[in-house]
Structure 1
């Protein structure tokens, strides 16, 4: 047995998600467990070098994790052959150019989504990686959530019969920054900085819908900027130029209708920040981040509409929990492990940059549908 060190350039991990999910809960957790096992018994040990534009931030983050490797010079890191993988979790406006540099340097690519600001640029990245022969992947973290893993089990088992519809509710109230500080960065609400909930979330909904229920074939979407002004990190009032809510209907392969509401201006009356209900001819299920509940056809109650008397049924009590039946690790970490195995021994990994481009495509078509107030078909990408 041997331990194989793989240098990973981690660019843009000083942000909340980059720090918590990718660095601490994924790469550092993998290091603490002794690396990732390969099929021949060897292990891959990730060795990160943190890269950022602000020296103070990146140096402090490295020190907090006991890491000695950090830099503000991306080009220098790309020139080092020890660093085999380039990871990017910068803001979207900076991502594509850095990935192009990494591909040109022969690095394997793993990145957050959206992978680029436009579909044209996203496809260019996928083609450049293919031509260069570098392995590539995009984060699809929600597929690894316990609730969605359970939901996928039900789909694969044929539990639903013929799936009729999917209803997805996502969101929460993001404070404006006036009397309570905002819990999301201000660039999220500036279109010129890559903000907007359609660009942010449709990349997620594309891979969730494609992988669980059927490929997205067409979209109808309307967006809204419900909160026109917010307060930024400097305490200054600014105009919101990007939408903070989107209400969309997707037609999926097989005629499945998916209704998806995404909002940063909604108060939560459900157990999770995301809730997915799937209805089929034989049964239904409701999934959140961790839980999943079912109601089979034979257990479905027979309510009668009568507004003149109190409702005699407790509907939520009539659903059954899907058991865990396994230990669920952090979803970001699981996908990191799979990508490291993909790089080290060519293990299968199906979520390449082309899958990321599909998310950017759906965001563009959602924005176009909103602008033109019409349904738009989703062309196949190859």
Structure 2
């Protein structure tokens, strides 16, 4: 067995996503499992260097988890020749410059989405990585969630026949921050800081639709700022300048129609915070983060519209639960393992920087559609 240490500069670990999903549930979880064993017998051992702006928070995280290395200087981290991989979970507005610096320092790069604030900037980062000969990837975690892995299994197994449509519902009520603390940081609701649900969620919908079914060929979007004022982390009132809800219709290659509602101003009346219903000629499925239920053509209940009598048919009772069939790992950890294998032995990794640029492209076009009130075709993205 060969032990291969991969030193990683993790930038943004003092934030909720960077700390919980990427440090604790991914990198540290891999270490707690004894490392990542590759098929060729190589044991990959990730060694994190914590990077951020707040020294006190970094010191606390390092001490809490028995880590020795942290720094508030990105330049110092990138100048260290032992660092192979740079990971970015900062604010979107700070990501592009940091990725450019990391690529310039010869580091492989892996980043949260969106990759940048504009498609041109995202493509520039991807091309820069190509020119530098370094590997790059973007987080597309939802493809690795149990419910959506089950949905992919159904697609690949031909369960749906010809897919007709997709209906997606995502969201929950984010408290305004006055009488109860908000569950999301205040920058999410300021356009000047890169906030907005279109920029945040459309890249997710792009890679999910493309990864599960087909590329998106057009988008129509209606955006709204339903809650015009919120309260920040200090309890101070501020104007919400970014959209907090988006209602989208996508046309996929092959004619599939997908409509997805995304909102931080909706109260949940569904089994999970996100659910997708896929309807096909041979069957339908409803998938969330964890669960997936199906109704095949032969077991479809006969529905008859009659508004004059109370409904007695228990429609949900006709749906069948899709079994797990194996143990699912954390979605972020699964993708980290795939990226580390890509860096160490060059295994394929489809979630590259150009995939990230396609997500930003669709978000940009959705913003344009919402502004102009029209359907926008999606051109083939440049490389």
Interval containing the TM-score (normalised by the shorter chain): over 0.9
Q: Is residue 2:145 matched to residue 1:145?
A: yes
Q: CA deviation at 1:86?
A: 0.3
Q: Which residue is equivalent to 2:293?
A: 293
Query: SS of the counterpart of 1:170?
Result: strand
Query: SS of the counterpart of 1:348?
Result: coil
Query: SS of the counterpart of 1:222?
Result: strand
- Deviating above 2 A after TM superposition, structure 1's stretches of 4 or more consecutive aligned residues are none
Q: Which residue is equivalent to 1:45?
A: 45
Q: How many pairs does the alignment contain?
A: 382
Q: What's the Cα RMSD here?
A: 0.7
Q: Which residue is equivalent to 2:54?
A: 54
Matches within 5 A, 1:149-168: 149-168=149-168
CA deviations on 1:37-58 (whole Å, 9 max, x unpaired) are 1232120100000000111111
Matches within 5 A, 1:1-382: 1-381=1-381, 382=383
Unaligned segments of structure 1, at least 5 residues = none
Unaligned segments of structure 2, at least 5 residues = none
CA deviations on 1:239-283 (whole Å, 9 max, x unpaired) are 100000000000001100000000000000000000100000110
- In structure 1, C-alpha distance between the alignment counterparts of 2:58 and 2:110, rounded to whole Å: 20
- In structure 2, C-alpha distance between the alignment counterparts of 1:178 and 1:340, rounded to whole Å: 42
CA deviations on 1:125-175 (whole Å, 9 max, x unpaired) are 000001111011100000000000000000001110100000000000000
Q: CA deviation at 1:317?
A: 0.6
- In structure 2, C-alpha distance between the alignment counterparts of 1:51 and 1:303, rounded to whole Å: 57
Query: SS of the counterpart of 1:62?
Result: helix
122-131 or 307-316, which deviates more? 307-316
- In structure 2, C-alpha distance between the alignment counterparts of 1:260 and 1:168, rounded to whole Å: 4
Query: SS of the counterpart of 1:351?
Result: coil
Query: SS of the counterpart of 2:254?
Result: helix
* TM-score normalised by the chain length of structure 1: 0.99
Q: CA deviation at 1:17?
A: 1.0
CA deviations on 1:2-44 (whole Å, 9 max, x unpaired) are 2111110000111111111000000001011111112321201
- In structure 2, C-alpha distance between the alignment counterparts of 1:100 and 1:181, rounded to whole Å: 35
53-62 or 22-31, which deviates more? 53-62
CA deviations on 1:280-327 (whole Å, 9 max, x unpaired) are 011000001100000000000111111111112001111000000010
Query: SS of the counterpart of 1:254?
Result: coil
Q: CA deviation at 1:181?
A: 1.2
* TM-score normalised by the chain length of structure 2: 0.99
